[in-house]
A and B are shown apart, each in its own frame.
Chain A
Amino acid sequence: MNDLNVVGIAQLAVSRPPSRLACLGLGSCVAVILYDPLARIGGIVHILLPKAPNHHDRDEKYADTGTKKLVEAVIREGATKARVYARLVGGAEMFSAINIAIANIGRDNIFEARRVLHNYGIRIVAEETAGKRGRSVYFDLDTGKVLVQTAFAGEKTI
């Protein structure tokens, strides 16, 4: 197995083959995954909340600032924006009874990430989002494939 780099909450990673990036246990969190298939550069940001307040601690924690930072980071590493495509994973609704009171953070995270990607003109080729189940993501930089494991519901490659 190639070396696996686990990207925790509010963290960002940009990498090249042969490494693999992973986000374990995504609930309402969203993993935004960018990949340039020709330069073979890819990155993940593991976001927690949709919108950054005015005085925030880490850009990577929020969908708007985190996605922006990821796009800039992969381009800085040598990816070409026109070739970069995105995949989104996560944004589930974990405790639906409680979410009635506190709004659906997962859904807001997805919307916000989509909006930022749209502004950059980066296309989203696949999504494995929403629902009620948590997910784990393994991103193989070599093949560009993303393996999504869902609790009790097997795995899927996107």
Chain B
Amino acid sequence: MADEKQPEVLGIISEFANIGAGSAATALSHLLDVDLMNDVTTCEILPLDKVAEWLGGGNQIVAGTYTYLCGELKSGILVVLPQDSAVSLLNHLTRDEIDLSSLTELQKSALREVGNICLCWYLIAVSKMVRIDMIPAPPDATVDYLGAVLNVPLATLGAKVDTVIAVHTSFKALDRQFDGYFLMLPDESTLKIILERMGEHYR
């Protein structure tokens, strides 16, 4: 990516990511059946190896849902929920006491579903914008060290990807603050297509 274009590119990508995250938040509010106040959304374009640092260090425990696109566009997508946000969400959905170290099959499934819905709605919004279908593979969720969760996209895409569109969104619901992170890892050609298509909106 050309460095002199960086601010402009970041603007385009922020727009792209904000709309995606907003859509995901709406879906989540329907799923939880609560009103959800979107607080702040920040967007960064990061190199792969800086992601763990940006998220606050590789040694913290997070809930991650990962999938990849298998249509025309090639990208990995990861939804990361910090430990406390994941516990509150699951607690609200399942009405159980949540212990992340020993999730039941139902709780795991609920976690996967939360991640799935978030990332699908993110994709629906952004694919409308760029007018290209984005078809995700079935996702999988895990609760583990952040570094370990990030290993998978790094290992599978590491050779082809060096740019991560990272979105941090923070919202209020159920009388508390939630944090969520969307990481989109497009390969170079996909990023180019997104920027081209998004650029058309600006002209």
Residues of A with Cβ closer than 8 Å to B? 8-10, 24-29, 48-49, 53, 61, 92, 94-98, 101-102, 105, 132-136, 151-153
Contact for A101 among B61, B137, B151, CB less than 8 A? B137
A145 to B139, CA, bound (A): 38
A117 to chain B, nearest CB (A): 21
Q: Chain B 133-146 against A: per-residue CB contact (8 Å), 1 yes, 0 no?
A: 00001111111111
Known contacts A48-B155, A94-B151, A95-B152: A27-B144 contact under CB 8 Å? yes
Please name the 5 residue pairs, one residue from A and one from B, whose CB atoms are nearest each other, closest first.
A25-B147, A134-B148, A27-B151, A27-B148, A152-B101
Determine whether the beta carbon of A27 is less than 8 Å from that of B149.
yes
B164 to chain A, nearest CB (A): 14
- Which of chain B's residues have a CB closer than 8 A to the CB of A9? 49, 151, 154
- Residue on B nearest A109 in the bound complex, by CB: B155
- Which of chain A's residues have a CB closer than 8 A to the CB of B101? 151-153
Contact for A136 among B100, B139, B145, CB less than 8 A? B145
B138 to chain A, nearest CB (A): 7
Determine whether the beta carbon of A102 is less than 8 Å from that of B149.
no
Determine whether the beta carbon of B148 is less than 8 Å from that of A135.
yes
- Residue on B nearest A132 in the bound complex, by CB: B142
Residues of B with Cβ closer than 8 Å to A? 49, 52, 57-59, 61, 66-68, 100-102, 137-152, 154-156, 158-159
A95 to B156, CA, bound (A): 12
A97 to B145, CA, bound (A): 18
A152 to B99, CA, bound (A): 10
A96 to B66, CA, bound (A): 11
- Which of chain B's residues have a CB closer than 8 A to the CB of A151? 61, 101, 143-145, 148
Determine whether the beta carbon of A27 is less than 8 Å from that of B147.
yes
- Which of chain B's residues have a CB closer than 8 A to the CB of A152? 61, 100-102, 143
- Which of chain B's residues have a CB closer than 8 A to the CB of A95? 66, 140-142, 152
B162 to chain A, nearest CB (A): 10
- 29 pairs, A vs B, C-beta closer than 8 Å: A8-B49, A9-B49, A24-B58, A24-B59, A24-B145, A25-B52, A25-B148, A25-B149, A25-B151, A26-B145, A27-B144, A27-B151, A27-B152, A28-B151, A28-B152, A48-B151, A49-B155, A53-B159, A94-B149, A95-B140, A95-B141, A98-B139, A134-B145, A134-B147, A135-B145, A136-B59, A136-B147, A151-B61, A152-B102
- Residue on B nearest A23 in the bound complex, by CB: B147
Max chain A C-beta neighbours (<10 A), residue from B58, B101, B137: B58
- Which of chain B's residues have a CB closer than 8 A to the CB of A29? 147-148, 151, 155
Max chain A C-beta neighbours (<10 A), residue from B67, B147, B156: B147
Known contacts A96-B140, A98-B140, A136-B145: A25-B59 contact under CB 8 Å? yes
